[in-house]
Amino acid sequence: MSYQVLARKWRPRKFAELVGQEHVVRALTNALDSGRMHHAYLFTGTRGVGKTTIARIFAKSLNCERGESADPCGECAVCTAVDAGRFVDLLEIDAASNTGVDDVREVIENAQYAPSRGRFKVYLVDEVHMLSKPAFNALLKTLEEPPPHVKFLLATTDPQKLPVTVLSRCLRFNLKRLLPDQISGQMRHILGAEHIEYEDPAIGELARAADGSLRDGLSLLDQAIAYGGGSLKADDVRAMLGSVERGQVLGVLDALAAGDGQALMAEATRIASFSPDFGTVLDDLAAALHRIQLIQLVPGYRPESHDGEDSVLVGLAERLAAEDVQLYYQIATTGRRDLALAPDARTGFEMALLRMLAFRPSDEAAPAPSGGQRSALPPQRPAPVAPSAPAAAPVQQSTRPAAAPYPAPKQDAVAPVAAPRIADAGGLPDWEALIQRADLRGPLGQLAQNSALRGRDGNTLILALQPTHMHLAVEPMVSQIADRVSEVMGEPIRLRFIGDSQGAVHTPAARAASARSAAQSAAEESIEGDPLVQALKREFGARVVPQSIKPFES
């Protein structure tokens, strides 16, 4: 007797045997039991979640010799014929292979005839989105006014490609991707029935690799049983999938939490020795960071236990700052996407880890336990070489006006342009002028514009930020701002950020917003006071739409 693959052997034959999709089963069961059935159903969802399986069970329920119900007997001639794929009144059409209008026209012509054996003639059209436009047009009329003995069951992985005219004539059911726990539960049931020994971590690896598809999961299970010579061991499954043990990923996070580059590379080398799929390793890293963030931000949350790793995750959650976890997660996901652009997968993986290490705030930048402050100090750098461009002319001492965005003078300029001053009386730099001269734009400019200069301690500028914005003051942004400011001031400068609820009051961004608000108010008052506008309002009942008024831009 030939071997039958698990995905076919264990294909559900009743609604009760389905894994997941309870929302679809409930709706179809109620429709069958009450006799209130639509003439066309559309099942959508990713591959291997049960679209055609549900459609076949539905066809059995409609035509079972023991009566129309949600629980077909599975024993009568009709049920066994449907299970065997030879029931004459169930016509399965693969739209990927039969896309033309001629194929659909044949279906339409046959639909007019009464069923041969059952109560209903059922048309199951798989991957219906692959039909051509003329084929859809030909099908449309029959979908709109079908004979009473015809039911259409349409299945697709890409419903966006279906014409709206077709969608509006069908009852649509969106099938969900299965959760790893649902897939692993079915695998355990099957392995128990097949009397195959297995290790529980192996099931978890296969369930995650199935990516929401039970059919894919059972195909992987077949492959793993063959790979392991009739048994299922975790190490064999990892070798087959190119995955690594979860503890290896946690070792990477432990090295990152310690800021230990040597340990980090040792973990990367250990992982590489398994010849894994490095994209999967980055996925596992992102999943671990997700669980760590849940521990940090959701009170009472505790992760699922995997060989005692929950205590390791809790420890990492205590050692890593919440904003660093967010940063590492982003690097892991973007690194996964960029692997194809790397010289080779291992290089791309190691660069993603090194990027996490490089962007890790220095020890001085760690949140202070006494609260409120987060300093991000770049390492001391040698004094930069003074630029060879002509020096700016001396600036008169005066009160602090809004600095105009004048460019720094160029070497070949005929007449130097006066640049914004960078010092006030008393030696305290003009922070807004420094931002202009240092040409801070983008994220660097946003951080600088929303900071207020509070003082100077030697070569260190003390900047105030709103406490809710303190997570923005991280490396390498702080070092880059310090480098630019050092070049402008001609001396090595360090930056220290402090949390201050009043920090946004005197920032360049606040002053710019205040100036915009004043200009807007002046513009609105000018329009309201204009004699012509007043006459229009008086004579014609006109009104001014405030949002339509914009001040002139200088």
In the predicted structure, residue 369 carries a pLDDT above the cut 80: no
Of 187-196, 284-293, 315-324, 515-524, minimum mean pLDDT range? 515-524
Residue 159: Cβ within 10 Å count = 18
Residue 53: Cβ within 10 Å count = 22
Tens digits of residue pLDDT in 452-492:
888 888 889 998 888 877 877 887 888 889 998 998 888 89
Q: Output the six-digit token pair for 147.
A: 């004979």
> Which CATH homologous superfamily contains domain 6-174?
P-loop containing nucleotide triphosphate hydrolases (3.40.50.300)
d(CA 379, CA 494): 8
Residue ranges covered by each domain of the chain: 6-174, 180-241, 246-360, 431-506, 510-548
- Range 272-306 burial, b when 16+ CB lie within 10 A, else e: bebebbbbbbbbbbbebbebbbebbeeeeeebeeb
- Rounded to the nearest 5°, which phi and psi values hold at 91? -105, 110
DSSP code for 365? G
DSSP code for 147? -
DSSP code for 22? H
Contact partners, residue 379, CB within 8 Å, separation at least 6 = 362, 479
| pTM score | 0.57
Tens digits of residue pLDDT in 436-463:
888 888 778 888 888 888 888 888 999 8
Give CA separation, 27 vs 11, 37, 67, 149, 175, in Å.
21, 10, 19, 21, 12
Give CA separation, 30 vs 14, 24, 36, 52, 56, in Å.
15, 10, 8, 19, 17
Tens digits of residue pLDDT in 133-179:
888 888 888 888 888 999 999 999 999 999 998 999 999 999 999 99
Amino acid type, 132? S
In the predicted structure, residue 96 carries a pLDDT above the cut 90: no
* Whether the bond into 163 is cis, omega within 30 of 0: no
Using DSSP's 3-state secondary structure scheme, residue 440 falls into coil
Identify the CA nearest to 10 among candidates 45, 46, 48. Answer: 48
- Rounded to the nearest 5°, which phi and psi values hold at 103? -65, -40
At 385 the pLDDT is 36
pLDDT category of residue 351 using cuts at 50, 70 and 90? very high
Q: Is 267 exposed, middle or buried (0-12, 13-18, 19+ CB in 10 A)?
A: buried
Average of per-residue pLDDT values in the chain:
81
- Rounded to the nearest 5°, which phi and psi values hold at 460? -105, 125
pLDDT category of residue 335 using cuts at 50, 70 and 90? very high
In the predicted structure, residue 253 carries a pLDDT above the cut 90: yes
Task: Compute the average pLDDT of residues 4-33.
Answer: 91
Answer for the pair 329, 291: CB distance below 8 angstroms, yes or no.
Answer: no
At 457 the pLDDT is 87
Task: Compute the average pLDDT of residues 17-45.
Answer: 91
β-bridge partners, 152:
40, 123
Q: Output the six-digit token pair for 536.
A: 């229009």
Using DSSP's 3-state secondary structure scheme, residue 269 falls into helix
CATH number at 431-506: 3.30.300.150
CATH number at 180-241: 1.10.8.60
- Rounded to the nearest 5°, which phi and psi values hold at 516? -65, -40
pLDDT category of residue 384 using cuts at 50, 70 and 90? very low
In the predicted structure, residue 382 carries a pLDDT above the cut 90: no
CATH number at 246-360: 1.20.272.10
Tens digits of residue pLDDT in 236-248:
898 888 777 777 8
d(CA 508, CA 408): 19
In the predicted structure, residue 289 carries a pLDDT above the cut 80: yes
pLDDT category of residue 434 using cuts at 50, 70 and 90? confident
The sheet with strand 460-465 has its strands ordered as 452-457, 460-465, 494-499
d(CA 118, CA 265): 67
At 401 the pLDDT is 35
Tens digits of residue pLDDT in 204-224:
889 988 889 999 999 999 999
Give CA separation, 461 vs 201, 360, 467, 481, in Å.
53, 22, 18, 11
